[in-house]
Amino acid sequence: MIEIERFQTDEATGTFLNELRELLAKAFGSNFTGDDWEHGLGGTHIVLRDSRLLVAHAAIVPRRLYIGEDIFSGGYVENVATLPDRQHQGLASLAIMEANSTIVKRFEVGALSSSSKDFYRKFGWEDWQGPSYVLTNNEWVRSESEDDGIMILRVGPSSNLNLESRIACDERPGDSW
């Protein structure tokens, strides 16, 4: 039976963090970097367990998003993963539904960057159609290579966002988006 847990990074034990890092390494292989690990910390974790075994995960980390001329409190989805031998069983779908619920309750907009966009569209995520940027030293630096991967979940204050506006996030180590 699948059990769903939700908690903040600062509530996690060292044992759990090791278990999570192992899950992510198995799911993403050599593509998973130290920066990717760091990007998924500092927010809310959605954890799915089957008989205590960690089988799937999604993180929602707080980030400021600059859209058009406005600044939004963003819930940024990171480290969505399922153990390879448990994929295609609906576990990531459960994690994303829980992540969406967290975003609706705590943030003004959801955002993520993914090459698996069809998966997220099923849960209300929309393709960002405007140009993307990264804020570096208060300067908007174009991040054209990210344009096709950014998706938004419009909630509450962001319900009427123009998906063709410019969007930016703050710079961070590794991939900013």
Q: Which pTM does this prediction carry?
A: 0.95
pLDDT for the residue numbered 34: 95
pLDDT for the residue numbered 50: 97
Q: What is the dihedral of CA 77, 37, 23, 125, to 10 degrees?
A: 10
DSSP string, 27-43: HHGGG--HHHHHHT-SS
CATH number of 2-170: 3.40.630.30
Q: What are 149's two structure tokens? A: 């991967």
Spans of the chain, pLDDT less than 70: none
pLDDT for the residue numbered 152: 98
Instruction: Give the integer Cα–Cα distance in Å for 107 and 174.
Output: 24
Q: What are 29's two structure tokens? A: 């292989």
pLDDT for the residue numbered 27: 96
pLDDT digits (tens, 9 = 90+) for 68-116: 999 999 999 999 999 999 999 999 999 999 999 999 999 999 999 999 9
Residue spans per domain, the chain: 2-170
Give the SS3 label for residue 148: coil
pLDDT for the residue numbered 63: 98
pLDDT for the residue numbered 161: 95
